[in-house]
Amino acid sequence: MAKLTKKQKAFATDVDRTRDYSVADAAAIVKKGATSKFDETIEISMNLGVDPRHADQMVRGAVAMPNGTGKDVRVAVFARDDKADEAKAAGAEFVGAEELAESIQNGEDGFDRVIASPDMMGVVGRLGKVLGPRGLMPNPKLGTVTPDVGAAVKTAKAGEVQFRVEKAGVVHAGIGKASFDAEKIAENATAFIEAIKKARPSGAKGTYIKKITLSSTMGSSVFIDDSLAG
């Protein structure tokens, strides 16, 4: 286990692990504690009262970060002809049809998002075993299967965050960078929390949001006030 720096030790001492903070205070504390030489990612994690093994308790969706994520999102698009041209014009790094599928089958993985026009799902469907485990399979509910591939590419690059609850009932995402103003971090965190609230599944019973934490890549977690979870 890596030793904590003096700044990290001081930060850990400043954080009261017995209390929850407002989103604004948590954002300010986490930003202050991000002292690494690189631009740390700000991460949010939420423990939900759901069991995703049941279809009616799955939590999945996408939310646009008001201030972007600070991450350069590389996009692959399955499209032909005019749609392919739209995707390229919007900034997609990988565009194609069967040849793109073959490239991915052969190990190409330099992308963070996969988008497809509806007519391409016959081709994309063959990549389920490759894209599925990475959470990259295009899905109409997430807006990644769409005839408007150009707009989808722009949305992805502007800072849309996709989320999906894991087996243990945890959903998490990178929502910004330590170089962001604390106010922008707080705005992004609030947007993510609100999106999770709206995505509450019909099968969720009892307490839906159990715990929310905010942290940076190398920093300690700060608990966010449960009252913000509704």
Give me the CATH number covering residue 154.
3.40.50.790
Residue 118 in domain: yes
Name the helix (H) or strand (E) containing 94: strand 94-96
pLDDT digits (tens, 9 = 90+) for 139-180: 998 999 999 999 999 999 999 999 999 989 999 999 999 999
Average per-residue pLDDT for the chain:
92
Confidence label for 15 from pLDDT (cuts 50, 70 and 90): confident
Residue 217 in domain: yes
Instruction: For residue 177, give its domain range.
Output: 17-69+160-229
Same domain, 166 and 57: yes
Confidence label for 230 from pLDDT (cuts 50, 70 and 90): very low
pTM here? 0.83
HSE-up of residue 184 (Cα within 13 Å, Cβ side) = 15
* Mean local confidence (pLDDT), 122-141: 94
pLDDT > 50? residue 40: yes
Same domain, 105 and 217: no
Confidence label for 6 from pLDDT (cuts 50, 70 and 90): low
d(Cα 222, Cα 3) in Å, to the nearest integer? 20
Residue 35, SS3 per DSSP = coil
* Mean local confidence (pLDDT), 77-106: 97
Same domain, 54 and 153: no
* Mean local confidence (pLDDT), 205-223: 94
Residue 31 in domain: yes
When divided into structural domains, the chain yields a total of 2
Q: What angle do CA 158, 23, 61 make, to 5 degrees?
A: 45
| Confidence (pLDDT) at 1 | 45
